[in-house]
Amino acid sequence: MCDNFTFVVPTLGGHQRILVVCEWLRWQRFTGRLIVVASDDINPADYFIPFDFVACIHAPKTNVLQAMKIGFEHVTTSYCSYLGDDDLPNVKSFQKCCLFLERNLAFGAARGACGYLEFQPLQRFFFSKKPPPLAFYAKILLSDRYDSPSDLSQSQAQLRVESLHRNYIVAQFFVTRTSIAKNLWSDAWTKIPDAYLAERVWSLSHAALVRTKFISCNYLLRGLGAHRPAQKEVAGEKLLNMNWNSSVSEVEAAFGQLSLDAGTKQMLVEIATNPLDRDKTRQNQKSSKCRTYFDGLSRRFLFIIKFQIFFSAKFVWWLWSADSITVNK
């Protein structure tokens, strides 16, 4: 399944997490490719020998942006996506996205619905056989949605960019045509000094260049844990925003690689480097958190009913069948 698809996974010290992801993929009969780009001093390639779909590239001393670029340079399949080293993809849903793109050449990417997963209890289960607590399963079933309701399927680039800006979503997790993805993972992009700003620039670039189809399916569980905080604090966002304003030249260079008119590029630079200022024009800041919470309740409920009940059952079945697995530590 997913023969013509590649995941790219940059990591630093995360080989144990990736082994769990590989077990999940193998259980789903994944037949595509998974490229691990390891920034560790010691090459972890031997850990992945049991998985014939894994290729490990040793790139010591690289940062996450450089590692991502290296990984996508090695993609040879028609479709690809970034994957965190603690994320669990639903292979059937990725296959649906690939099939849609095969049949709809007007679209450059496709995606589904995403939830959350606390990864550390899962990792402890595989390496110590300590069963996850009941709360672990409950949190998967009642997971909030990671993805936002952005409409990125519109034919006009400006409308797609405005939609992503209103309801920000990380486009790096979309199934994207490889020819497009390689254009976005440019040398100029890797020179952006802040990883979160680079993520934002990439997502805005993606929205400006291609149409993305939302497919009604449970697509991905994003890992949470001490290594990946659930949310950035507001104070931290303000500090980032100050730093982002000092990175305008790097952002301009990244957008400058795209085949877009000058006006669109300037708009993208302003949105990317001044996100908080522009947010203030959209909504009343005093009530935004409360309003966002209540507005999202119905969407979260539908997510649970449509996707999470079935997916949670599938996940429990996997853990039950994985009880006898011995992971190569």
- Tokens 């698809």 correspond to 5
Give the residue from 112, 300, 307, 303 showing the smallest Cα distance to 213.
112
pLDDT, position 182: 93
Through-space distance between the first and last CA atoms of the chain, rounded to whole angstroms: 27
**Which residues of the chain carry a pLDDT beneath 70?**
226-243, 275-296, 323-329
> Which conformational region is residue 225 in: left (phi greater than 0), alpha (psi within -120 to 50 degrees), or beta?
left
The set of long-range contacts for 151-154, using a CB threshold of 8 Å and a minimum separation of 24, is 151/214, 152/109, 152/207, 152/211, 152/212, 152/214, 153/107, 153/211, 153/212, 153/213, 153/214, 154/211
Q: How far apart are CA 329 and CA 327, in angstroms?
A: 6
DSSP 69-102: HHHHHT--SSEEEE--TT-EE-HHHHHHHHHHHH
Going 34 to 87 to 207 to 196, the CA torsion angle's sign is negative
- CA 320 → CA 123, 132, 139, 314, distances in Å? 14, 12, 18, 10
pLDDT digits (tens, 9 = 90+) for 258-275: 888 888 899 999 999 876
**What is the structure's pLDDT at 232?**
44
Task: Report helix, strand and coil shares of the chain as percent, to nearest 5.
Answer: 55, 15, 30
Q: Are strands 212-224 and 109-118 parallel, antiparallel or unpaired?
A: parallel
Spatial CA neighbour of 86 closest among 204, 227, 194, 209: 227
Strands 175-177 and 212-224: unpaired
Could you please state the CATH topology (level 3) that the domain comprising 5-324 is classified under. Answer: Spore Coat Polysaccharide Biosynthesis Protein SpsA; Chain A (3.90.550)
The burial of 95, by beta-carbon neighbours within 10 Å (0-12 exposed, 13-18 middle, 19 or more buried), is given as buried
Angle between helices 234-245 and 195-209 (to 10 degrees): 70
Among candidates 123, 119, 124, which has minimal Cα distance to 139? 119
320 has which bridge partners? none
Task: Enter the pTM of the model.
Answer: 0.88
* Residue 291 confidence (pLDDT): 52
Domains of the chain by residue range: 5-324
Q: Could you tell me how far CA 50 lies from the centroid of its own chain?
A: 25
Question: Token digits for 229?
Answer: 């905080």
Question: pLDDT of 279-325, one tens digit each?
Answer: 443 443 344 445 555 556 777 777 888 778 888 888 888 888 775 45
Residue whose pair of structure tokens reads 């309801």 in the numeric block: 167
Nearest to 129 by CA among 325, 328, 273, 329: 325
- Give the 3-state secondary structure of residue 216: strand
Backbone phi, then psi, for 117, in 5-degree steps? Answer: -145, 135
- Residue 65's nearest CA partner among 218, 234, 197 is 197
